[in-house]
Amino acid sequence: MTSNNAFSNLEGSNLLKLYGTGETIEEAIEQAIKELRVKPEEDEYTVSILQKPRKGFLGMGKREAKVEVEINTSFIERVIREALKRLFEASGWQVESHVKANSRTARIELKNIDSTKRLDSNFFNDLEYILTIYANRFTSTRYSVKILQPKLDSDRERELQQLAAEVAREVLKTHRRYTFDPMPASERRIIHETIKKFEKLKSYSVGKEPDRKVVVELAKKTSKRRRKTSKGV
């Protein structure tokens, strides 16, 4: 049996087409999919027969089978789920993952992450990078992997809301700017949303990840009113 495998991309898609040849259709399919290194299930690819085999007569007119194998998005979803499982189990974590892929992008939702593990946006960015490299082994051009960062647990969210409210009252009382310790984007968002409820205050973030911080201070228009009042006294 000889082989003539090649990789190509689907029209309008980043997923792979693989080509194989063999003495039989089955051998040609096996020759094609072995290039993936991860064997797809039968429902994870489709086969197009480009040429049927022919035995010929006395060695004359013999022809090999040629097939085109197209992997589909269910294969991409499975290999990403399995990669995530290996990564998290190696860290001793039990994390549930849901993967939804199309021909260009895979989106991942992670659930049941231990709330004691304070994972910032850098963790998820690094994980996206690793999974993107892995997924691109099974695509012909750049494939994108995006992780939907898990929401904060309700206890942590309430804790941040209470902290932001206390800081807001302190800034209103002292007129002094307050800078929080560095925190991930998901937690900074809770701080900003809470400060918005205080009309005389504003909040903004400064610095670069992973040291980005939230600053709370009097809004400019409030400061101007106070300066005018002091002039009149």
Question: Taking residues 155-163, what's their average pLDDT?
Answer: 89
pLDDT averaged over the chain? 82
Query: How much is the pTM?
Result: 0.57
212 inside domain: yes
Using CA atoms, how far apart are residues 191 and 124, in angstroms rounded to an integer?
Answer: 20
Q: For position 169, which CATH number holds?
A: 3.30.1370.50
230 inside domain: no
Buried b (16+ CB within 10 A) or exposed e, 119-151: bbbeebeebbeebbebbeebbbeebebebebbe
176 inside domain: yes
20 inside domain: yes
Q: What are the tens digits of pLDDT across the range 59-88?
A: 678 899 999 998 899 999 999 999 999 988
Q: What are the tens digits of pLDDT across the range 105-136?
A: 999 988 776 644 556 566 777 888 899 999 88
- Look at residues 107, 133, 148 and tell me which one is the last residue of a structural domain: 148
Q: Same domain for 100 and 66?
A: no
- Return the percentage of the chain with pLDDT > 70, whole number: 80
pLDDT band at 152 (very low <50, low <70, confident <90, very high): low
1 inside domain: no
Q: Same domain for 59 and 95?
A: no
Which carries the bigger pLDDT value, residue 192 or residue 137?
Answer: 192
Q: Same domain for 119 and 131?
A: yes
pLDDT band at 225 (very low <50, low <70, confident <90, very high): very low
53 inside domain: yes
- Look at residues 52, 71, 90 and tell me which one is the last residue of a structural domain: 71
Please tell me which of 89-93, 131-135, 165-169, 222-226 the model is most confident about, judged by mean pLDDT: 165-169
Q: Same domain for 184 and 130?
A: no
Question: Taking residues 189-209, what's their average pLDDT?
Answer: 93
The answer on pLDDT for 4 being more than 50 is: no
Q: Same domain for 190 and 211?
A: yes
Question: Taking residues 33-62, what's their average pLDDT?
Answer: 86
Q: Which of 60, 111, 57, 55 is nearest to 81 (CA)?
A: 111
- Look at residues 31, 53, 71 and tell me which one is the last residue of a structural domain: 71
132 inside domain: yes
As for how many domains the chain has, the answer is 3
Q: Same domain for 132 and 160?
A: no
Q: What are the tens digits of pLDDT across the range 134-143?
A: 988 888 778 8
Ranges 12-26, 157-171, 215-229: which has the least confidence:
215-229
Work out whether strand 7-9 and strand 16-22 pair parallel, antiparallel, or are unpaired: antiparallel
* Domain of residue 88, residue span: 75-148
85 inside domain: yes
Q: Same domain for 81 and 143?
A: yes
Query: What contacts 232, CB < 8 A, 6 or more positions away?
Result: none
Which carries the bigger pLDDT value, residue 29 or residue 115?
Answer: 29
